[in-house]
Structure 1
Amino acid sequence: MKILKTIIHTVADEITNVLKQIDENEVIQLGNELQNANRIFISGTGRSGLIGKVFAMRLMQSGYQVFVVGETITPSIESDDLLIVISGSGSTGSLAQFAQKAKEVGAKLALVTTNRDSKIGQLSDCTLFIPAATKKREAHEPKTIQPLGSQFDQSAHLVLDALMVHLLQNKRDEQSNAQLNKLHANLE
């Protein structure tokens, strides 16, 4: 049991070290983009896509109009919308295509990534840099005991949840937990 406790503490320490390096101004800028967007679209692949869905749920429960790219009910993106791409590498082919399309129609583009200078990063209006390890294990990435991109995905999840807390605390009509719960799924 002591070995497992050591692993748990190591993972927590790794994430804490990544989170200490987050640029608060980048998080605030993403928050401003969220508040100024007519609608929000979120995209990612694999586990990053799952983190995107978690974030989309938080946004919806907080009263934002949000869609997950690839779902059957997702409408066309338009010029006053925001596309958020969550991609450790910032260069995933399908996500780069979505980013290009969003820019073509005049939508804003935000990227949550470990690579500011990536293909999608070069197109982005807003970049939230997460200095975490990805599945590629680039030389500049921190060491981790975790497999693949776990450190990036966990860190992105926590930063985006913290952003939601920030946005809710700064809303003029401060929503209570009871109000937020009204938007929580009841068919479960």
Structure 2
Amino acid sequence: MKLQQKILNVAKETVKIEAKAIANLEHLIDNEFVEAVENIYNSKGRVIVTGIGKSAVIGSKIVATLNSTGTPAIFMHAADAIHGDLGIIQRDDIVICISKSGNSPEIKVLVPFIKDFHNTLIAITANRDSFLGKSSDFILNSYVEKEACPNNLAPTTSTTAQLVIGDALAICLLELRGFSKEDFAKYHPGGSLGKKLYLRVKDIAQQNMKPSVSPETTVTDAIIIISENMLGVTAVLENDKIVGIITDGDIRRMLKNNDEFKNLTAGDIMSTSPKSIDEEALATQALDLLEENKISQLLATKNGKYSGVVHIHNLIREGIL
């Protein structure tokens, strides 16, 4: 139990230390930060992010965030830069260099070359008076009082602060660009996140069969159609117009209430006014409608006419739910 308590205490203290440091960053955001954002926003080039060690890892993540929110960015490892990768930097590019101390040997070697290229240099550093700080055009202050590491050595709080500064930078640029959900979807076509932003009802409905019966269809035949199409549902159409729906639930209720059903028709057991959704609607809207009405299937429509079925299992399979 003592070991468990120690683990809990250390974990909570780590969170507390880092949370305090992040909260303090708010007071370090100043006009220099504003000017750095404006320079990136007005630049015709890309953002080149560089760093060494743990700061390099943070730099890679910042690059990913910038790219995904409309700001073209490339990561350049500081050690590789001085062995050929400096060719990444083009005339109009802006370079962001990340270093807690600002005095790492690799940074001291790299920075003069960047300055020789006459590119704008932005530092994310905790030390304004460092070599990097004094060499940069703009400083984004990522100062932290101490690392979460009990020896105050392992980069923990400081790298979290760098990451937050990078996020703040990216979100400011996103806002300035008027980056919308539609823009976001273009850069995130894969995975559940992208699908939530672009996947439409028609994309799902066209994967399924399109079961339908008429009101005069016998219940026996309706059951066969529902079974064959494996969606647990069939639309009931009259003159190509949706007049009802028959689900597995309707079949179960019919069997419970009728000893004989050979003379019953689809029209006798169907549910009228079924829930439907236009096939151009987003799949997330279909999910909302399913959850709101506590049902498993929706009829998809095109120009008011039946075009297919969306099942809750489709949404689960696509990662929407």
| Partner of residue 56 from structure 2, selected from 49, 61, 67 | 49
Where do residues 3-42 of structure 1 align in structure 2 (5 Å cutoff)?
3=9, 6-7=12-13, 9-37=15-43, 38-42=45-49
Residue 145 of structure 1 aligns to which amino acid in structure 2? A
- Deviation per residue, 1:43-92 (Å, 9 max, x gap): 01122111111111111112322211148988432332211100001111
**CA–CA separation in structure 2 for the residues paired with 1:100 and 1:48:** 19
Q: State the match for 1:137 in structure 2.
A: none
State how many pairs are aligned. 176
RMSD (Å) for aligned C-alpha atoms: 2.6
Q: What TM-score, normalized by structure 2, do the two folds share?
A: 0.49
Q: Which structure has the higher relative contact order (CA within 8 Å, separation 6+)?
A: 1
Q: Report SS of the residue matched to 2:88.
A: coil
- Residues 1:12 and 1:52: Cα distance change in structure 2 (over 3 Å): same
- Unaligned runs of 5+ residues in structure 1 are 133-141
Give 1:169 shift.
1.7
Q: 1:95 aligns with which of 107, 130, 155?
A: 107
Q: Is the 8 A contact 1:18 1:130 kept in 2?
A: no
Matched, 1:122 2:128: no
Cα offsets for 1:70-123 (capped at 9, x unmatched): 489884323322111000011112222222111101111111001111112221
Question: 1:64 maps to which residue?
Answer: 71
**What CA distance in whole angstroms lies between the structure 2 residues aligned with 1:13 and 1:67?**
29
**Pairwise CA distance, 1:41:** 0.8
Q: Residue 176 and residue 123 in structure 1: after superposition, are their counterparts in 2 closer, same or farther (change >3 A)?
A: same
Question: Counterparts of 1:123 and 1:10 in 2: how far apart (Å)?
Answer: 34
- Say whether 1:145 aligns with 2:144: no
Unaligned 5+ residue runs, structure 2? 192-321
1-structure distance, mates of 2:162, 2:59: 9
Which deviates more, 15-24 or 89-98? Answer: 15-24
The answer to whether residue 92 in structure 2 is matched with residue 80 in structure 1 is yes
Higher strand share: 2
CA distance in 2, matches of 1:66, 1:9: 30
